[in-house]
Structures are given as C-alpha cells and as structure tokens.
Structure 1
Amino acid sequence: MASVAGSTRRARRRRPKNPDGRMPVMDHLRELRRRILTILVLVAAGAVLGWFLYPQTLELLRHPYCNVPAKFRYTPSGEGCVLIYHGVLDGFTTRLKVSVISGAVFTGPLWLYQIWAFITPGLRRNERKYTIVFIIASTVLFAAGMALAYTVLAKGLRFVLEQAGNGTQAQLTVSDYISFVTLMLVVFGAAFEVPLIVVMANFAGALPARLLKRSQRIGIFLIFLFAAVATPSTDPFTMCAMAIPMVLLFEAAVVIAIVHDRRKARRKAAEREQAKLDDTVASEIDAIPQPLEPPTSAWADTT
C-alpha cells in the first residue's frame, strides 16, 4: 500500500501542466501558497542585506528631517539633527523594520515575478511574453513613486512641523519618524503601481476598455480621494504631488487598454474569417436546393 501511495504522489507531482493554465481550485491554492512562501524567503534574504546596510539607509532617510530649519527640530548641541528613542528595544525594532522594508525593495523584481507567474496561466500564450515588460515597468514605477515621495518629503515635513509655530521644536523618536518616512515611500510606490494593475486586469479580460472610458471621471475623483487619505502628512502639497502623476498614469493606462482591446477585436475578427475559409469547417448550404435557371436563347441556338 505504501508503494502504491508513493507512486500516486509521484504521478501527481509529475502531472504535466495544462498549456491553457487551467487547474482545479485546490491546485490554485497550492500554487498560491508556494508563491507566497517563495516571496517570504526572498524578502527575508533581502532583509539580511538590509540589516548590514542599515547605517547608510538611516542616513538617507534622516536627510529630509535634517533639511527642516533648526529652530523647528531638536538640536541638543546647537547643530546637527538628532532622532531619539525611549524604549530599550526601540533601536533594535527600528533597525529590524528598516531591514525588512529594504529587503522588500531590494528583491522587488524577484517577488513581482512571482506575482506575475501566478497570474500568467490565465492569459494567452502570446500574452505571457509581457513578463519582462511587466517586471521592468513595475520596478520602474515603484522606484519613481519612491523617488517622488523622497523629493516632496522635505517640503511636506517642513509644512507639518511649522504648523506648531515659533518657539516650538519637534523631538521626534526614531521609531515614529522611520515609520512616517517608510509609510510615505511605500504608499507613493504602491500608488504608482495602480495604473499597471489596471493594464494587467485589461490584458486578463477582467477590465474592458469601454468600462474604463465610461468611468474616467469617477476614477480621477477616486485617485484624489485616495491621495488625500493615503498621504501620511495630509498636507495639500503632498496630496497633489501624488494625485497628479497618478492621474497621468491612469490616463496612459486607459489609452493602452483601448489600443489592446482594438487589437484583440481585430484578431478575433480575423480568426473568425479564417475559420470560415478552413477546409475542416463545413460550409453553409441551403436546406432546399434552388431550381436551375432556364438556358438563354443564345446558348440554346448554339446547341
């Protein structure tokens, strides 16, 4: 019995993949579990590298705070900028948090590939060639969102800290400040991925271009609403800095979806025409034969 069970398990493991990407629900769940475990391993490996690069990362994240005028931030020695912490484990947990986030950033292309590989079985074979394009586009968009967040962070942070007025100073803890900065970077990076998700949904057939065209105004309103809620600083400058590029990217995604749907419609029309001319497909004939026309007088004289 054990040998039979072992051979059954081996046969199940060796089962060939369906070229159309179709599989039972349990196989989908097992595939999802495998992809999630792979992503966790990749992020953990990147976190090890992020742990050793923590001093450089902390200096980079601390730079926007150091650009705030000295009268609004804590300067115990009269110069420089200092982030404090109170709890015994606050320093360790902060380093661990930054390391994990850095690991996710470092291994971004790898775990993005895992997400795409889970989705691609539902696409056509000629549409799976966009894997490299998706990985490059998602990496570039996430990096662009983080770069924009880092650029506007200094102005947004200064705007927030100056609201307390003269005669006050911000004595920020390293845990709170790192959480604020990383949340800003991640939110901007993730927001720039939304247009790419729209394009992916369109390529998968879940979001047709005609629906996107009808809901453009609603989409723009939701983008500004999302930017107002998602930006940690809640100031109008940061909100517009996120919303305006997202609107432009969303419009670009709509254009890509329109072009893709038109090409898809032309391809299906060509396939239907080809099917009509295929020798293996029966031609349409009349159920009742039509009577033959009588011969003309000229043809009758010659005969």
Structure 2
Amino acid sequence: MSFLEHLDELRKRLVRSVIVIILAFAVCWVFSDKIYNFLSIPIREALSEASRRQLPVEGRTGDEKVLSLASIKEGDSGRYIFDRATKVGSTVVSAGASVAATVARDAAGKLGLFTTEALITNNAVISAGVRLPVEFEQTAVGTPNADERMTVTTTVEPFTLYATVALYAAIAISVPFLLFQIWGFISPALYKHERAYVTPFILLSSISFVVGAAFAYYILFPPAARYLLGLGSDFQLLLKASDYLDFITIIMLAMGGIFQMPAITYVLARIGIVTPKLLIKHWKISLVIIMIVAAVVSPTGDIPNMMLFATPMMALYVVSIFVAWFFGKRRRTDAEAKENTTI
C-alpha cells in the first residue's frame, strides 16, 4: 500500500470508530444516571466512612480507647464520652460528660447505644435506658445522604456530567470494535499467517480491559480515596462531581489500557517480535516508564499512592515475560510457515 492508501485506510477506520462510539453513546445516554451512580459508589462510601464519628468509650479492660462505630457489636458496654455539646431529649449535655452505656436493640429491632445509669447534668437527670444520639446503621449505598452528595456549580453541569459519563461508557463498550479497527489498520504490515491472531488478540484485550477497569474500581481507587479524604480531614470538603468523574474514569481507562500488556505481549511473542530475552534486557528502562506512568495516573505524587499504581504494572511486566517465554516463537515468513505446516 502507498502512503496515500494508508491515509485513506486510516480515515475509513476512524470514521467507523466514531460512528460506533456515537451509537454506543446514544445507548449509554439512556442509562447515564445509573452509570453515574455506579461510578460514584466508591467515593460515597469513602465520604460516609470519613464523616462517621468515632465513639469514645472506656474499653472492657478499663483502658480508655476510641472505637469505630463499625467495630462495636450488640452487647458491648463501656462509658460514652460526649465529645461535644449534645442534646439528649430536652437536655443539653456538656462536652466532656460521660455515662455508662451498652449496645442493644430497641423495640423496633434497631441497634443503638443506651445508658445503663442515670446522668446528672445542667440541673437535669437523664435516667437509665435512654437512647444516646449515636447512629449505627448507615444509609444504603444506592441512596446517598447529604454528607455523601457531590456538588455542581452551574445549572448546565448536571447535563454535561451525564453526557461525559455516557461518552466514557460508550468508549469502554466500544473497545472490542476499536481493537478490531486497530488490528485491521496494522494487519497489512503482517504476514498472512500472523493475521490469524486477530481473534485471540481482540478476545484477550477485551477481557484484559474489563479486568483492568474492575481492578481500578474495586482495588485501587477505594484506598486512594480514603487516603486523600484523610489528608483533607481538617478542611471543609466540597467535592465537585465533574472533577471526581474525570478522576475515576481516567484511572479506570488507564488501568484498562495498562492491563493490555500481557495480551499484547502474547500476540507479539507469537509473531516473533517480542522475546523474553528482550523484555529482561530492557527491564530498567521499562521500570522507569512504569514509574512515570504511575506518577501520571496516581491522584497525588507521593510515593505510597504512586506505588499503589506502579505495583500492578510491575507485576504485569513480570507476567508478560512469562507469557513471552511460554508462547514465544521465532518470526517466520509465509513460505516458512507453509513449509512447517506441510512437514
């Protein structure tokens, strides 16, 4: 093919890809609110955890300690310490006051913290058995409360947000077709027998993309979100929905692309372009590239967060070496491939 023919082929592949993405966008737009709610679950859980007030109680051993509400179970008892002025019934209890309490269920079966002794405060008496204003049960993930909602700054931002969600989702579900177009563009440069790897390439790459995106969503992002929210615990957080959406989708798309490493290595090793010796020889350069990519993808430039993203990439590089070693072949021409088949 001449240079102009290559350009024309590229134009055709790009046009087809754009058409498919547009069609996928139309479908994803219908479900954009559900997709957004799904993507926002990790940050809502992190916000809920960050806003959950810890419960200062005296441990059963007699030592003063701070227990998370999530770690307390029915039957536990100790002293509840009011860390701020709190209204109990019609009485305001001053900060620093304490009362013996136990974890039990009320008549409706809801878990709560109840006093086991009378508390005298501000010339009033709070009798034993009074429920303290401590919530144990969290709001369901599907229905965010006020503390978990993100903010928008303009009236058109919700529309833009859902459109962006639909676009990212359209790109994600179009990955198999986009990979087929990429293969179709580069296949003329390959031998005929090498083009037979199109099916395993698309299948493995599509699976790798889904696994990578899921790894980012379920494994990488939650600890990163908790770490970042922990850094901002001394500030009033107003998290913009658009910033969060860009953040999590870029991470998911990036990890989906990074997880292509073994799949691409498999195809290149079968063709004979990549060998385990080549990957081992250039491991230092690869390590530098991995650290650069991790620094770009990670939300902050600190070492712990960066290693959170670099570690799976390094693991994938090692996996790729074994893939190349197990599936690698010497590159052959069509004539050599035909001769070996005949023999």
Instruction: Tell me, in whole angstroms, the C-alpha distance in 1 between the residues paired with 2:49 and 2:314.
Output: 37
Decide whether aligned partners of structure 1 residues 59 and 253 sit closer, same or farther in structure 2, where only a CA change above 3 A counts. Answer: same
| Contact kept in structure 2, 1:156 and 1:235, CA below 8 Å | no
| Contact kept in structure 1, 2:213 and 2:252, CA below 8 Å | yes
Structure 2 residue 242 is matched with structure 1 residue 242: no
Residue 104 of structure 1 deviates from its aligned partner by 0.8
Q: Secondary structure at the match of 2:43?
A: helix
What does the per-residue CA deviation read over 1:159-178, in whole Å, with 9 as the maximum and x for residues that have no partner? 11211234x33211211111
Matches within 5 A, 1:118-157: 118-151=185-218, 152-157=220-225
Q: Which of 35, 40, 63 is the aligned partner of 1:62?
A: 40
Instruction: Tell me, in whole angstroms, the C-alpha distance in 1 between the residues paired with 2:271 and 2:7.
Output: 19
Instruction: Tell me, in whole angstroms, the C-alpha distance in 1 between the residues paired with 2:246 and 2:15.
Output: 26
Q: Secondary structure at the match of 1:83?
A: coil
RMSD (Å) for aligned C-alpha atoms: 3.1
Q: Match for residue 5 of structure 2?
A: 27
Decide whether aligned partners of structure 1 residues 29 and 250 sit closer, same or farther in structure 2, where only a CA change above 3 A counts. Answer: same
Instruction: Tell me, in whole angstroms, the C-alpha distance in 2 between the residues paired with 1:268 and 1:262.
Output: 16
Q: Match for residue 229 of structure 2?
A: 161
Structure 2 residue 185 is matched with structure 1 residue 115: no
Q: Match for residue 214 of structure 1?
A: 281
Give the length in aligned residue pairs.
Answer: 249
Q: Match for residue 291 of structure 1?
A: none
Q: After the TM superposition, which parts of structure 1 deviate over 6 Å for at least 4 consecutive aligned residues?
A: 265-274
Q: Match for residue 101 of structure 2?
A: none
Q: Match for residue 180 of structure 1?
A: 247
Instruction: Tell me, in whole angstroms, the C-alpha distance in 2 between the residues paired with 1:90 and 1:43.
Output: 22
Decide whether aligned partners of structure 1 residues 37 and 257 sit closer, same or farther in structure 2, where only a CA change above 3 A counts. Answer: same
| Contact kept in structure 1, 2:261 and 2:320, CA below 8 Å | no
Q: Secondary structure at the match of 1:86?
A: coil
Residue 257 of structure 1 deviates from its aligned partner by 3.3
User: Which one has a bigger Cα radius of gyration?
Assistant: 1
Q: Secondary structure at the match of 1:67?
A: helix
What does the per-residue CA deviation read over 1:218-244, in whole Å, with 9 as the maximum and x for residues that have no partner? 212321332122223445454333322
| Contact kept in structure 2, 1:159 and 1:235, CA below 8 Å | no
Residue 33 of structure 1 deviates from its aligned partner by 0.8
| Contact kept in structure 2, 1:72 and 1:170, CA below 8 Å | no
Residue 78 of structure 1 deviates from its aligned partner by 6.8
Amino acid at match of 1:91: P
TM-score with structure 2 length normalisation? 0.64
Instruction: Tell me, in whole angstroms, the C-alpha distance in 2 between the residues paired with 1:129 and 1:119.
Output: 13
Instruction: Tell me, in whole angstroms, the C-alpha distance in 1 between the residues paired with 2:226 and 2:159.
Output: 27
Of Structure 1 and Structure 2, the greater helix share is in 1
| Contact kept in structure 2, 1:195 and 1:246, CA below 8 Å | no
Instruction: Tell me, in whole angstroms, the C-alpha distance in 2 between the residues paired with 1:270 and 1:98.
Output: 47
Q: Unaligned regions of 5+ residues in structure 1, if any?
A: 1-22, 275-303
TM-score with structure 1 length normalisation? 0.71
Decide whether aligned partners of structure 1 residues 128 and 265 sit closer, same or farther in structure 2, where only a CA change above 3 A counts. Answer: closer
Identity among equivalent positions (%) equals: 26
Instruction: Tell me, in whole angstroms, the C-alpha distance in 2 between the residues paired with 1:237 and 1:86.
Output: 32
Q: Unaligned regions of 5+ residues in structure 2, if any?
A: 52-143
Q: Secondary structure at the match of 2:46?
A: coil
| Contact kept in structure 1, 2:193 and 2:337, CA below 8 Å | no
Instruction: Tell me, in whole angstroms, the C-alpha distance in 2 between the residues paired with 1:247 and 1:177.
Output: 27
What does the per-residue CA deviation read over 1:123-179, in whole Å, with 9 as the maximum and x for residues that have no partner? 22222111111111111111111111111212211111211234x332112111111
Instruction: Tell me, in whole angstroms, the C-alpha distance in 2 between the residues paired with 1:34 and 1:138.
Output: 22
What does the per-residue CA deviation read over 1:22-52, in whole Å, with 9 as the maximum and x for residues that have no partner? x111111110110011111111111111101
Instruction: Tell me, in whole angstroms, the C-alpha distance in 1 between the residues paired with 2:175 and 2:30.
Output: 18
Residue 264 of structure 1 deviates from its aligned partner by 3.7
Of Structure 1 and Structure 2, the greater strand share is in 2
Q: Match for residue 95 of structure 2?
A: none
Instruction: Tell me, in whole angstroms, the C-alpha distance in 2 between the residues paired with 1:273 and 1:78.
Output: 67
Deviating more after overlay: 77-86 vs 215-224: 77-86
Q: Which of 202, 209, 225 is the aligned partner of 2:292?
A: 225
